[in-house]
C-alpha cells in the first residue's frame, strides 16, 4: 500500500481532463486535477487526522468526471440526480481499481467506494467529511463564479441545500472562509 502512489495515480487520470481552469497562481490546469488537489488541501485543514481511505476518496471525488457529461442526461431534476448517481458509481469503481492495484484490502476498497457513492450521509463520519469538504471547496473556490451566472433566488436556494448537507463543524468552518463581500452577503441571506 502506498498513499502517495495512489494519489499520484488519481492525479495522472485527472490530468487528462480536457477542461482547464485557472489556479491561484494564474496557471491553467486540468479542472479535475485542480479540484482533487483543492479537496485534499481542504481536507488537511478540516480534518488533519483523516484516514488513508478518506484521503483517497476525497482526492477521487471527481476522478475522470468528464467521462460522463451532464449534457448526456435530461436537463431536469431526475436527469441531474441520475447523472450524479452514475458519476458517483463511476468514481467509486475507478478509485477501487486504483486502490486494488496498490494492494489495499477489500474492506478499504469497499469503504472508499461507499464514501464516493455518498452512502449513509449524516450517519457515516467519513462520508459526511467528504460531503463537508466538497461543500467547503465549492464555497471557497467555485461559489463566486457560480453566483455571477445565476439568479439570486437560485443561489440562495443552492446555498440552503448545501448548508443542510453539512455538519455543524463544516458550517462553522464555512462561516470562517475568506469569501468576497457579495458571496458572504448571499450566504447570510440564505441562512436568514
| Residue 1 pLDDT > 70 | no
pLDDT in the model for residue 2: 87
Average pLDDT of the segment spanning 142-171: 91
What confidence tier does 128 reach under pLDDT thresholds 50, 70, 90?
very high
What confidence tier does 148 reach under pLDDT thresholds 50, 70, 90?
confident
pTM over 0.85: yes
pLDDT cut 70: percent of the chain above it: 99
Instruction: Give yes or no for a contact between 109 and 122, defined as CB atoms under 8 angstroms apart.
Output: no
pLDDT in the model for residue 147: 85
pLDDT in tens, 37-57: 999 999 999 999 999 999 999
- Largest Cα–Cα separation, the chain: 49
- Rounded (10°) angle between helices 52-59 and 3-14: 10
Average pLDDT of the segment spanning 6-33: 96
| Domain range annotation of the chain | 1-119, 121-192
Average pLDDT of the segment spanning 94-100: 97
Amino acid at each position: 500500500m502506498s498513499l502517495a502512489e495512489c494519489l499520484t495515480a488519481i492525479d495522472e487520470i485527472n490530468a487528462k481532463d480536457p477542461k482547464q481552469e485557472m489556479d491561484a497562481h494564474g496557471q491553467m490546469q486540468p479542472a479535475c486535477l485542480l479540484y482533487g488537489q483543492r479537496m485534499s488541501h481542504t481536507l488537511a485543514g478540516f480534518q488533519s487526522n483523516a484516514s488513508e481511505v478518506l484521503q483517497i476518496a476525497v482526492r477521487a471525488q471527481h476522478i475522470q468526471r468528464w467521462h460522463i457529461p451532464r449534457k448526456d442526461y435530461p436537463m431536469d431534476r431526475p436527469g441531474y440526480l441520475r447523472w450524479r448517481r452514475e458519476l458517483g458509481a463511476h468514481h467509486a469503481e475507478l478509485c477501487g481499481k486504483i486502490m486494488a492495484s496498490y494492494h489495499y484490502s477489500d474492506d478499504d476498497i469497499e469503504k472508499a467506494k461507499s464514501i464516493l457513492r455518498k452512502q449513509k450521509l449524516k450517519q457515516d463520519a467519513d462520508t459526511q467529511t467528504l460531503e463537508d469538504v466538497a461543500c467547503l471547496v465549492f464555497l471557497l473556490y467555485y461559489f463566486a463564479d457560480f453566483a455571477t451566472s445565476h439568479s439570486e433566488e437560485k443561489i440562495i436556494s443552492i446555498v440552503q441545500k448545501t448548508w443542510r448537507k453539512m455538519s455543524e463543524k463544516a458550517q462553522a468552518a464555512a462561516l470562517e472562509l475568506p469569501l468576497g463581500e457579495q458571496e458572504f452577503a448571499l450566504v447570510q441571506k440564505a441562512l436568514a
